[in-house]
Amino acid sequence: MRTPTIHMAAVLSAAVAMALALMMAGCSAVADPTRYYVLSPSATAPTNPAPAAASSIAVGVGPVLVPRYLDRVQIVTRNANGDVDLSTYHRWAEPLEAGITQVLAENLAVQTGSDRIAIYPWRGVAARALDYQVAVIVTRFDATRGRQVELDARWRLLSRDGKEVALKRSRIMEPVAGDGYEAVVQSMNRVLEILAREIAQEIQVRGPRAAAGS
């Protein structure tokens, strides 16, 4: 009686195929832990409505510039020693500059009562229709988790003819109510609401007269 011949190559090939199949099944069962966030407008209509003249003013928002350490998909925080941490699994769903610009524009629309808000870059008719332009340079916008968010920004208000009518610095600190990244993003939203309020107040004080350069 002949003993069956065992082909080792075939056995090894089958074993490798089974191992690969198990590895692929295991990988597909592991969910991606990465979470993505966007900034959101949080401004509410002011108690004292803006004057009719202010509510008809057209405002262009941008450009907004952030430092290179913030210009990345990872959410940046600081630890208690002030060291910068880049989160692996908590990321922005859009460029931070774009998110800040969009939220500032939406908050300004509420604070000024005007729907005539444009986002940089603008061209043609939109550019000629603007009464003011707000350009923002952010030097810091991050959080110490569980403590506070800090914004340090300089912003310029330009009139219709491109002349600078205001140059301001805003330093805003807002507590973070919790240790998670959701709490950090919510505090960043509130900081941008405060910044929009400061800009809106400057626009309302100056009104359309300053916008025309008179």
pLDDT by residue (tens digit) across 161-205?
999 999 999 999 999 998 899 999 999 999 999 999 999 999 999
Token pair 């832990």 is found at 33
Instruction: Output the domain CATH number for residue 156.
Output: 3.40.50.10610
* Residue 1 resides in a domain: no
* Residue 154 resides in a domain: yes
* Residue 31 resides in a domain: no
Predicted pLDDT at 150: 97
Poorest-pLDDT segment among 9-18, 29-38, 151-160: 9-18
Predicted pLDDT at 17: 64
Domain extent, residue 152, equals 36-211
- The residues that bridge with 93 in the sheet, in sequence order, are none
Q: Which residues are CB-contacts of 186 (< 8 A; sequence separation ≥ 6)?
A: 177
Report DSSP state, residue 177.
-
- Read off the pLDDT of residues 14-68 as tens digits, 9 standing for 90 and up: 666 666 666 665 555 578 899 999 999 986 766 665 555 556 899 999 999 999 9
- The residues that bridge with 150 in the sheet, in sequence order, are 142, 173
* Residue 17 resides in a domain: no
* Residue 24 resides in a domain: no
Predicted pLDDT at 31: 87
- The residues that bridge with 133 in the sheet, in sequence order, are 60, 158
The fraction of the chain above a pLDDT of 90, given in percent, is: 66
How much is the average pLDDT of 110-131?
A: 90
Which of the pair, 212 or 64, is modelled with greater confidence?
Answer: 64
* Residue 115 resides in a domain: yes
Predicted pLDDT at 48: 62
Please count the structural domains in the chain.
1
Report whether pLDDT(10) > 60. Answer: no
* Residue 23 resides in a domain: no
Report DSSP state, residue 179.
S
Report whether pLDDT(75) > 60. Answer: yes
Alpha-carbon distance of 22 to 158, in angstroms, equals 63
Predicted pLDDT at 212: 61
The fraction of the chain above a pLDDT of 70, given in percent, is: 78
